[in-house]
Amino acid sequence: MLLRKCLLLVALVASIAFSQTTSAALLTYTNLADYQAQLIASGIAETNFTNFDSLVPLARGMGSGTNFETAGIAFVGQNSLPLAPFSTSTESGATNSGLNFLGADFTNGTDFFGGDSFTIALQGASRAVRLNISTPNLIDSVNLATLTVGGTSISTLDANKTPISGGTNGYFLGIIDTTSSFSLASVSFLGAPLFRADDVGLVSVTGIPEPSSFALAAVAGLFTFTRRRRVR
């Protein structure tokens, strides 16, 4: 009787766990505190983060290639868009934190324009991604930046602006996958130029038990329990 109950419990746990792995839930955030609270509630912690301040900033047009990696995060420009870290000490404007920011590596400017886009990726898979976008431009339906994972997006149009300085405002964008994982996130820009990216964070699945792992642990634990009961 006890064995039968244990087997039914194992089946229930496994059913719930494996059903969770097949139905990803992507949550979007426009506030860092809410984003971090959900990470805690999900039992996961940020594993990779960069504000680009540890990198040597480049001068306009001095980079090579359309991608680079820092803090285990790969940034890849699209449509022949070169990317590089730059400094507000040499480039006018402001960012959300520190001196450096991620920008477009052209000789005539370092800001992202409408039509530009880039991807963010970890080696392996991710559970969450976040970044800040700063711009002196008015955010409206034709002038915005968007963060996308799979078919889920969040844009600066949805976010509350945080004044930085000199008329520049900052916008927080975040996405958390509560049940599965993803390999890429994309950032795209529409409308007027002068967008900059800063404070990028990712959560790796490394060390985070998947729901199926919990199910297997439950099976192992119940098997041990029933075996001990039999021995007695």
Cβ-proximal residues to 70 (8 Å cutoff; 6+ apart), any chain: 50, 52, 54, 55, 85
Q: Please report the pLDDT score of residue 193 as a whole number.
A: 76
The mean pLDDT value of the chain amounts to: 82
Share of the chain above pLDDT 70, in %: 78
- The residue among 216, 201, 197 whose CA lies nearest residue 71 is 201
For residues 50-67, average pLDDT: 93
Q: Does residue 164 carry a pLDDT above 70? A: yes
Q: What is the DSSP string of 151-185?
A: TEEEETTTSPPEEEETTEEEEEEEEEESSS-EEEE
What is the Cα–Cα distance from 223 to 207, expressed in whole angstroms?
24
Q: Please report the pLDDT score of residue 208 as a whole number.
A: 54
Structure confidence at residue 98 as a pLDDT band (50, 70, 90)? confident
Q: Please report the pLDDT score of residue 168 as a whole number.
A: 93
For residues 49-55, average pLDDT: 95
Q: Please report the pLDDT score of residue 24 as a whole number.
A: 61
Q: Does residue 70 carry a pLDDT above 50? A: yes
What is the Cα–Cα distance from 24 to 13, expressed in whole angstroms?
18
What is the Cα–Cα distance from 78 to 155, expressed in whole angstroms?
19
What is the Cα–Cα distance from 59 to 66, expressed in whole angstroms?
15
Contact 104, 189 (CB under 8 A): no
pTM: 0.81
For residues 83-107, average pLDDT: 92
Domain annotation for the chain: domains and CATH numbers: 24-209 (2.60.120.1360)
Contact 6, 222 (CB under 8 A): yes
pLDDT, one tens digit per residue, over 104-139 is 999 999 999 999 999 999 988 999 999 999 999 999
pLDDT, one tens digit per residue, over 209-220 is 444 443 333 333
Residue 43, helix vs strand vs coil: coil
Give the per-residue SS3 of 87-108.
Answer: ECCCCCCCCCCCCEEEEECECC
Q: Please report the pLDDT score of residue 96 as a whole number.
A: 87
What is the Cα–Cα distance from 206 to 186, expressed in whole angstroms?
21
pLDDT, one tens digit per residue, over 168-201 is 999 999 999 999 999 999 999 999 879 999 999 9
Looking up tokens 């996961």 gives 44
Contact 178, 42 (CB under 8 A): yes
Give the per-residue SS3 of 72-86.
Answer: CEEEEECCCCCEEEE
What is the Cα–Cα distance from 83 to 110, expressed in whole angstroms?
9
